[in-house]
Amino acid sequence: MEHKVQFKAYTYGKDQSKPEVRRFGIEKSVVTSFCYLDAKLQDIYPSLKHKRFTVTWKDEDGDDITISSDDEMITALSSMTDNVMKLNVYCHEEGPQEIDCDVVITATTENATGDKNAAHCGVICDVCDIPVVGFRYKCTTCSDFDHCSKCEAAGHHSEHIMVRLPMPNMPRTMIKAAIRRSRHIMKSVGSATADLGTSLQEAQT
């Protein structure tokens, strides 16, 4: 458990005075990611899915400080001195939670391996049919296509964008958010490329 930071969340419903309290751990390698925390909370509290909610912590003056970004997450972790990080979660009106997630859009490299001990349970590489260990690469276009770091480095399935998952058991909410974000990025790139092509054609005429 030493590789995880322990959290205790007090979650309040819209008309709920008594919180639902749960404890959980987050790996130190991703503990500063608010996107990961947001997805983790939705996995632990299914009632938060498809709803907006606010995450706060109490500072030394007893004030509720909102966390909504990685920088604010780092500030909270640096300021809280207890062994267990205590958070308050306030659920609001219906509607999807909208946050920005960092997305790793992969390119073929010679060093795309990751932690050799991180086995993604039940995930088989669709290229070499070997269980995925280390980085897992998930296609953002195909409905169910994953491959391992070696096949990524070899350039397999290069016609589609892949999202890199650095560790097993990442919240599905976070994976879906990353895929949506990558598609949005590619649409923006495609639109910008089309506009540039039109401008070049007009300049040549």
- pLDDT, tens digit (0-9, with 9 covering 90-100), for 116-145: 567 888 889 999 999 888 888 988 888 889
Distance CA 89, CA 56 (A): 6
Q: Is residue 139, in this structure, part of any structural domain at all?
A: yes
- Same domain for 125 and 174, yes or no, is yes
**Full-prediction pTM beyond 0.85?**
no
Report the b/e string of 119-130 with b at 16+ CB within 10 A: ebeebebbbeee
- Same domain for 77 and 124, yes or no, is no
Radius of gyration, CA atoms only, the chain: 20
Distance CA 168, CA 33 (A): 16
CB 54 within 8 A of CB 90: yes
Q: Is residue 148, in this structure, part of any structural domain at all?
A: yes
- Same domain for 79 and 146, yes or no, is no
Segments forming the whole domain that contains residue 50: 4-94
pLDDT at 129: 93
- pLDDT, tens digit (0-9, with 9 covering 90-100), for 15-31: 777 999 999 998 887 88
> Does position 107 have pLDDT exceeding 50, yes or no?
no
Q: Is residue 14, in this structure, part of any structural domain at all?
A: yes
Question: How many domains are there within the chain?
Answer: 2
Q: Is residue 113, in this structure, part of any structural domain at all?
A: no
